[in-house]
Amino acid sequence: MHYELFSKNFEPSERAKEKIARLAAKLERRLKTFHPESATLHCSLEKLSSNKSFRVSLTLQMITDLINAKEQDENLLTAIRGAFDDLEEQVEKQKSQIRKESEWRRRARRGTKTSGGAA
């Protein structure tokens, strides 16, 4: 998976860049069913001057879908982690829909009574 990092109004620290690289590698492992070599992650970091917080926007572009996640927090690393958590949750949901996992579950019993001796 290829990822691109954009920043606005500040230069991200090396620690933030390392965290993004580590979380992108983790996300790539979850994308094995989607051909991860064809996926592109756009990561946008923005420092908001109005309330001294950071906004992280992630866009995962795949052949079949486009998944977005956004997070805003006063701590940049917390915002990065929250955005990646949201993105991973959406990827898992997408995988579940493709596999039709909702149809795998056993159907609930519909109030059937067993026939047997009277009590």
* pLDDT for 116: 56
b/e per residue, 78-116, with b = 16+ CB within 10 A?
Answer: ebbbbbbebbbebbeebeeeeeeeeeeeeeeeeeeeeee
Domain total in the chain = 1
Domain extent, residue 33, equals 2-99
Q: Is residue 106 part of a domain?
A: no
Q: Is residue 72 part of a domain?
A: yes
Residue 83's SS3 state is helix
Q: Is residue 118 part of a domain?
A: no
Q: Is residue 105 part of a domain?
A: no
Q: What is the mean pLDDT of residues 60-80?
A: 93
Task: Specify the CATH number for the domain of residue 57.
Answer: 3.30.160.100
Residue 100's SS3 state is coil
Q: Is residue 108 part of a domain?
A: no
Q: Which pLDDT band, with edges at 50, 70 and 90, does 21 fall under?
A: very high
Rounded to two decimals, the pTM is 0.80
